[in-house]
Amino acid sequence: MSVTDIVWRMTTTNSNPPLTPAVFHILLSLSSGERHGYGIMKQVEVDSQGKVNMGAGTLYGSLKRMLDAGLVKESDKRVDPEMDDERRIYYRITGVGKKALAAELERYRHIVGVAKKLRLFPETFAYDV
Amino acid sequence: MSVTDIVWRMTTTNSNPPLTPAVFHILLSLSSGERHGYGIMKQVEVDSQGKVNMGAGTLYGSLKRMLDAGLVKESDKRVDPEMDDERRIYYRITGVGKKALAAELERYRHIVGVAKKLRLFPETFAYDV
DNA sequence: CATACTATATCCGTAACGGACATAGCTGTC
DNA sequence: GACAGCTATGTCCGTTACGGATATAGTATG
């Protein structure tokens, strides 16, 4: 099932199948502001504590699919004319993108809850709440 | 990067790249007990609130890779001879599998934390803690 | 007696991924 | 000033992962 299929299903059947990790991380990185490709890569690295290193192929391939699916849009934002890096294309998350991200985050939170019930995390102390 | 590569990297360099969603969910389902293929599928459905429907190809393909990588083992457990469904093969999680699962769960928990800081979850109430 | 569910497993087309490569400007340093 | 390293975009292509169809067969329900 492609990303486009997932969004189609989301908007028509109200069911939310999981996003791919790449798509998820791109959406997460864009939820703290508009970013260009390279900026997304760096932010994903930060958000994941360096654990996810997204290759250029994954990034630009995913962005293309996400544009088709309406999860992100190209922003009108352009850089200050002085520092003219005109190649930069900024992306921003759309309403559909926010909805998809929220559903996926809920899935993450639920799984963490399941894992806690199974005592798969080392015990936390009272002051650790 | 294959699952085997990920485990090799884990055990040699102490770095933990993400698991694929399928591998992760299989490990999670096995952390609450030994299960056979079909049982894994059903448990994944439960753990994910029906959001992840794992195809047979994904399941048995992933299990094969996970056996190679040492994340799971075939169990000696066999069914009561009376109800002889002898085809059943039970799987259990190994030490390496537990370590991989723990690292991945930590990644999930961290991401949920990041999302909370970004206020991407609807506000929770005091009694909701 | 047909349908549905349990159960294992393979096959194959599609989707996703990652790294190499191409290109190019900018910065710092030896 | 040459050279390394970083920013920046993007394509290409081989590998990996995934999902559904299919095959097979037993059990249970109506």
Residues 6+ apart with CB under 8 A from A40: A26, A29, A30, A54, A59, A63, A91
pLDDT tens per residue, range A15-42: 888 999 999 999 999 999 999 999 999 9
Measured distance CA(B14)–CA(A28) in Å, rounded: 26
Give the mean pLDDT of A89-110.
Answer: 94
Q: Which CATH architecture has domain A3-128?
A: Orthogonal Bundle (1.10)
Q: Picking from A73-82, A96-105, B72-81, which range would have the lowest pLDDT averaged per residue?
A: A73-82
Nearest by CB: A18 against B31, B51, B105? B51
A122 pLDDT exceeds 50?
Answer: yes
B79 pLDDT exceeds 90?
Answer: no
- Which nucleotide comes closest to B36 if you measure CA to C1'? C7
pLDDT the model gives residue A87:
65
Q: Select the residue from B30, B111, B112, B117 to test the A interface by mutation, using most A Cβ atoms within 10 A.
A: B111
Measured distance CA(B62)–CA(B71) in Å, rounded: 11
pLDDT tens per residue, range A34-64: 999 999 999 999 999 999 989 999 999 999 9
Q: What type of residue sits at position B35?
A: R
Q: Structural domain boundaries of chain A? A: 3-128
pLDDT tens per residue, range B86-122: 667 899 999 999 999 999 999 999 999 999 999 998 7
Nearest to A54 by CA among A25, A92, A88, A97: A25
**Alpha carbon distances (Å) from B19 to A60, B31, B45, B109, B113:** 21, 16, 18, 15, 19
pLDDT the model gives residue B128:
45
Residues of B in contact with A111 (CB under 8 A): 28, 47-48, 105, 108
pLDDT the model gives residue B11:
87
Our measurement of the distance from residue A124's CA atom to the centroid of its chain's CA atoms, rounded to an integer in Å, reads 29
Give the mean pLDDT of B11-30.
Answer: 91
pLDDT the model gives residue B86:
63
Overall size of chain B counted in residues: 129
Our measurement of the distance from residue A2's CA atom to the centroid of its chain's CA atoms, rounded to an integer in Å, reads 16
Residues of A in contact with B28 (CB under 8 A): 111, 114-115
Burial B43-61 (b: 16+ CB within 10 A, else e): bbbebbeebbebeeebbee
pLDDT the model gives residue B25:
97
Q: Picking from B34-38, B39-43, B74-78, which range would have the lowest pLDDT averaged per residue?
A: B74-78
pLDDT: is A111 or A1 the higher one? A111
Residues 6+ apart with CB under 8 A from A102: B120
Measured distance CA(A62)–CA(A26) in Å, rounded: 8
